[in-house]
Structure 1
Amino acid sequence: MDRLLIIDGSNLLFQMFYGMPARIVNREGKAIQGTLGFVGAAIKMIGMTQPTHLVVLFDGEHPNSRTELLAEYKANRPDYSQAAESENPFSQLADVRRALTFMGIRHTEVQEFETDDVAASYAYACGAQMSVVISSFDSDFFQLISENVNVLRYRGKKSVLCDVAYLKEKLGVAPCRYADFKSLTGDSSDNIKGADKIGPKTAAQLLCEFDNLENLIANAEKIPKPSVRASIIQNVGLLRRNYQLIKLDTRAALPFSLKELEYRHSGLTTNEVLAGIGLK
């Protein structure tokens, strides 16, 4: 079966920039640890998943519909515009893009929407005809997991390929109910507040009993625990807004056709890629 590997480029760049044991510079004194880690990780992911199609997506700097719903959405993220180069992952983004081009890997900065939305469009468009692997630590992608769609949490030899069974064991919910689950608990990484008194275990129990968020809201009076019942009733607007913020669909256009994403690994090593773009 064909396989599409989607790499969340911004997520991986941050992981590698901050995850390398030390700041690494080349012979000219240029910092390259983020690029070095990114290229090495991408090559290892390719070896793990053996994709026939491949794309790397980077988040763009632009307003989106989610900030219109919630002004505080992702407002907790650091502003790197004034950060020193040594503290700024984006200072190595241009080198990462050059490396991807050298490797023959399609990549783009997502316009209008977010990386999550474009990855979702690919998952929905391609999941029925091929295997799809999304590499990211962004848990929003859990809602896209299906028989043919998995999420790769890359950590070298400790990498985990998250499937339906993984999510059910970890959180007690099916992927199709993950957006409902996060609407209840909130998402601190995106600055989305959940309903009071609703933690992960309570959210999973509620969805097990009431199936989905709308059914839970419609039958809130039947919730046995008074504090939980009151929280759901008092936070209906917040819960529905959260669902709009978290739910992924097919709104985003696909930046590349599947034909354009066809990929065959050349066997290049990390050192060969860095030498090829003049970073050694």
Structure 2
Amino acid sequence: MQKLLIVDGSNLLFQMFYGMPARIVGKSGRPVHGTIGFVGALMKIIRMVRPTHAVVLFDGEHENPRAALDPAYKANRVDYSQMAEDDTPFSQLADIYLALDFMGIKHAETTDCETDDIVAAYVLNRTDDADIVISSFDSDYFQLISTNVSVLRYRGKGTTFCGEKYIWEKFGIGADKYADMKALCGDASDNIRGVPRVGPKTAARLINEFGSLDGIMQNANRIKQPALRESILMNLDRLLLNRQLITLTGGAALPFETEELEFIMPEFTSVQALKALGII
């Protein structure tokens, strides 16, 4: 059976850039700590997953369409344009792209959407029952989890494979209701404001009682707790907006067809690859 590994490249790059000692420099005299961490982690992920197909996706530099819906969306993120180039994760992308080419892994940058949207397009538009593993710490991907789709959260020996059981045990809802839960609670990392008085446990209880976010909004007057009922009723527009911001629909264009992503397991190590490229 086919197994597709989709790596959120920007997420992994940030994890490695800020998790490795910045003093590591390559033959060029430039910092390469993010590159070393990225390639090493990717090789370990590949050996864990053993995919038949693989792709690494990165967020490109362009306007974010979700910010047009809500100017506050991700407005809390660091402005890297105000930093010295070598101090940003993006300064090491060129070396990472060279390494991916050497490894035979297709990669692409988004041009008019977020990486999440392209990942969703691969998941939601698949025409077979191939297994898909999404590698990322971005919890937005939890809404895509199903029988054949899991999320890998790489942390060395502490790596977690998140499937339907994980979502149920952690949140008390099905993965197909995860976007509804986030619409209710909001998402501080993306600067999405939730409904006051609604945390994950309350959101799960409401979803299980009324079936979905639509069910909650349509039956808000039946919520027993007066303060919670009022909070939901006062934030119906916010809930609709949050659902737009959070839900992954699968409508993005694919940079590659799945057949183009065929992958052969490498016989070299990450260090051998980086040395062959003259990076270290």
Q: Does 1:90 align with 2:90?
A: yes
Q: 1:266 is matched with which residue?
A: 266
Contact 2:207 2:213 (C-alpha < 8 Å) held by counterparts: yes
**Cα 1:27–1:255 shift into 2, 3 Å:** closer
Distance 1:41 1:185 in 2: 32
| Residue number in structure 2 paired with 1:253 | 253
Distance in 2, Cα, partners of 1:258 & 1:243:
28
Which secondary structure state, in structure 1, belongs to the residue aligned with residue 125 of structure 2? helix
- Aligned equivalent of 2:239: 239
SS of aligned partner of 2:77: coil
Deviation at 1:86, TM superposition (A): 4.2
- Kept after mapping to 1: 8 A contact 2:97/2:107: yes
Who is 1:118 aligned against? Answer: 118
SS of residue matched to 1:126: coil
Query: Which residue pairs with 2:195 in the alignment?
Result: 195
Q: Residue 134 of structure 2 aligns to a residue in which SS?
A: strand
Whether the 8 Å CA contact 1:4–1:54 is kept in 2: the answer is: yes
Give the counterpart letter for 1:189 in structure 2. Answer: S
Partner of 1:180: 180
Query: What residue is the counterpart of 2:136 in the other structure?
Result: 136
* In 1: Cα distance, 2:84 partner to 2:267 partner: 35
Q: Which runs of 5+ in 2 are unaligned?
A: none
Aligned match of 1:212: 212
Partner of 1:30: helix, strand, or coil?
A: coil
Q: Which moved more, 1:7-16 or 1:165-174?
A: 165-174
Q: CA deviation at 1:22?
A: 4.5
**1:187-236 CA-partner distances (Å, limit 9, x unpaired):** 01111000001011100110010110111011001111111100100000
Residue 2 of structure 1 is matched in structure 2 by 2
Deviations 1:21-80 (A, max 9, x none): 453112443211100000001100000000000000000111233111101111111011
Q: What is the SS of the residue equivalent to 1:152? A: strand
Match of 1:58 in 2: 58
The letter for the 2-side match of 1:15 is Q
1:171 CA displacement: 1.0
Partner of 2:278: 278
The amino acid across from 1:237 in the alignment is D
Output the TM-score relative to the length of structure 2: 0.97
| One-letter identity of the residue aligned with 2:126 | C
Q: Kindly tell me the number of residue pairs found equivalent between the two proteins.
A: 280
Alpha-carbon distance in structure 2 between the residues aligned to 1:77 and 1:115: 16
Identity fraction in percent:
55
Aligned counterparts of 1:102 and 1:134: Cα–Cα separation in 2: 22
Q: TM-score, normalised by structure 1?
A: 0.97
SS at match of 2:17: helix
Amino acid at match of 1:37: G
Alignment of 1:140-155 (within 5 A): 140-155=140-155
* C-alpha contact 1:7 1:55 (8 A) present in aligned 2: yes
Alpha-carbon distance, 1:269 to partner: 0.7
Q: CA RMSD in A?
A: 1.2
Question: What pairs with 1:63-74 in structure 2 (closer than 5 Å)?
Answer: 63-74=63-74
Contact map agreement 2:57 2:109 (CA 8 A) in 1: yes
Q: What 5-or-longer segments of structure 1 have no aligned partner?
A: none
Q: Which amino acid aligns with 2:260?
A: E
Checking the alignment, whether the CA contact within 8 Å between 2:22 and 2:31 is kept in structure 1 is no
2:158 is aligned to: 158
Deviation of the 1:258 alpha carbon: 1.3
CA contact (8 A) 1:127 1:149 kept: no
